Amino acid sequence: MLDCQAFYEVLQSRGVDFYAGVPDSLLKDFCAYVTDHTPPERNVITANEGSAVALASGYYLGTGKPGVVYMQNSGLGNTVNPLTSLADVKVYGIPMLLVVGWRGEPGKKDEPQHVTMGVVTTGVLDAIGVPWEVLPDEQDAAAAAVERALAAMTERSAPYALVVRDKTFSPYKLKNKTKSPYEMTREAAIRAVIERLPSDALIVSTTGKPSREVFEVRVQRGEPHDRDFLTVGSMGHSSQIALGIAMQHPMRPITCLDGDGAVLMHMGGLATIGVSGATNYRHIVVNNGAHDSVGGQPTCAFGIDIAKVALACGYKAAWSVSSEEELASVWADFSATPGPVLLEVRVAIGARDDLGRPKQSPADLKVAFMGAIKAGA
Ligand SMILES: Cc1ncc(C[n+]2csc(CCOP(=O)(O)OP(=O)(O)O)c2C)c(N)n1
């Protein structure tokens, strides 16, 4: 296995010491090492992976040095535009080192949302003209791969990708975890919401552990799963999925259960919701100030006012609470005010170790969900 510190030092010794990206569960040890050892002005956790490519481009324009852009392969889609229309050799030709976690690698078992991207990851890089190689998990071979990458980046003045297999990096535990001052857990917040929603309400929940917790809360309450759409992939898109349903079923209450990292990833969607006038739309952002599902690296969401952003985007009302008592005290207003409305719930970071996963396939869950919409339409 590759030692995180040794790999970081190889990059540093070659003058590569600027990082931008979105954390990944498969890269979590290396991302954690970078978070702990790099000052914030040289490690920017960006809203999405495309922003990271743009930020590294700006860093190069400002310094003449290439940066590292780290991401899960699910984020490659977010980078295709800036990689092909900004960094590409036929446009500005901007070198940068992409470090891409390879979820769903063929031959390895992974969740359904990673299977197709796992198969096409290297093909996507080929198609957009980014040379790549798999990062070896042995120290000297990894250093040699970095040399090849830097040589190609300099020669072509363009990006190069190191594709990282599962368990390439040896374990490293994040020391600078986001310290949330809040006590309520995300699961408790989700349970408090589900308990209070009307029985015909539909939920669209966000990527990662929040959706797994929605699933678990239904199990605990002995309720069916057919009113929940669990957005297992497509991080940042739950709010627009919910809007698409809300606009077609204006009499049906619909709630998007979002995460702070996910809201930040495609924040422009708040404006689309705000101006939609969807009176049946309720947006709940469970904010733990972190990318908890992939290792707990910080987001900037404790430093911004999500409720005010929503109001500025045209939401009819917005609240922010940080305990179950506060949630209970605003709930009557939140549920009675015509939407779109937003409730931010600030929570602690972390989840149960024994958190389950949906047993049914996404396709089966979709059929059940569509059935529930039809039955209640
Ligand atoms: C485009 C994309 N980039 C990265 C990921 C990996 N990923 C899955 S969940 C997650 C963190 C989500 O953070 P947040 O919305 O704040 O929810 P939390 O896990 O903290 O509750 C990330 C980065 C992904 N699935 N898709």
CATH number, domain of 356, equals 3.40.50.970
Examine the domain organization and report whether 159 and 293 are in the same domain: no
| Global pTM value | 0.97
What separation in Å is there between the alpha carbon of 291 and the centre of ligand 1? 6
Examine the domain organization and report whether 136 and 262 are in the same domain: no
Strand 297-298 with 228-230, pairing: unpaired
- Ligand 1 atom with minimal separation from the 301 CA: 16
Looking at the domain assignment, is residue 108 inside a domain?
Answer: yes
233 pLDDT exceeds 70?
yes
Q: How many domains does the chain have?
A: 2
What residue's CA is closest to ligand 1, atom 6? Answer: 24
Looking at the domain assignment, is residue 18 inside a domain?
Answer: yes
Ligand 1 neighbours (beta carbon < 6 A) = 22-24, 72, 74-75, 78, 186, 206-210, 233, 235, 259-262, 288, 290-294, 299
In a mutational test of the pocket of ligand 1, which residue from 209, 293, 297, 299 has the highest number of ligand atoms less than 8 Å from its CB?
Answer: 293
177 pLDDT exceeds 80?
no
Range of the domain at 87: 4-164
- Ligand 1 atom with minimal separation from the 260 CA: 16
Mean pLDDT, rounded, for 160-181: 92
Amino acid 377: pLDDT? 60
- Provide the token pair at 136: 């070896």
Examine the domain organization and report whether 58 and 130 are in the same domain: yes
Looking at the domain assignment, is residue 78 inside a domain?
Answer: yes
359 pLDDT exceeds 90?
no
Examine the domain organization and report whether 219 and 152 are in the same domain: no
Length of the chain: 377
Examine the domain organization and report whether 285 and 206 are in the same domain: yes
Looking at the domain assignment, is residue 33 inside a domain?
Answer: yes
Examine the domain organization and report whether 138 and 230 are in the same domain: no
Percent of the chain at pLDDT > 90 equals: 95
What residue's CA is closest to ligand 1, atom 18? Answer: 292
Looking at the domain assignment, is residue 173 inside a domain?
Answer: no
Examine the domain organization and report whether 198 and 113 are in the same domain: no
180 pLDDT exceeds 90?
no
8 A C-beta contact, residue 313 and residue 173: no
Looking at the domain assignment, is residue 172 inside a domain?
Answer: no
What separation in Å is there between the alpha carbon of 209 and the centre of ligand 1? 9
Q: Round to whole Å and give the CA distance between 282 and 252.
A: 11
Q: Round to whole Å and give the CA distance between 18 and 8.
A: 11
Examine the domain organization and report whether 131 and 256 are in the same domain: no
Examine the domain organization and report whether 132 and 206 are in the same domain: no
Looking at the domain assignment, is residue 178 inside a domain?
Answer: no
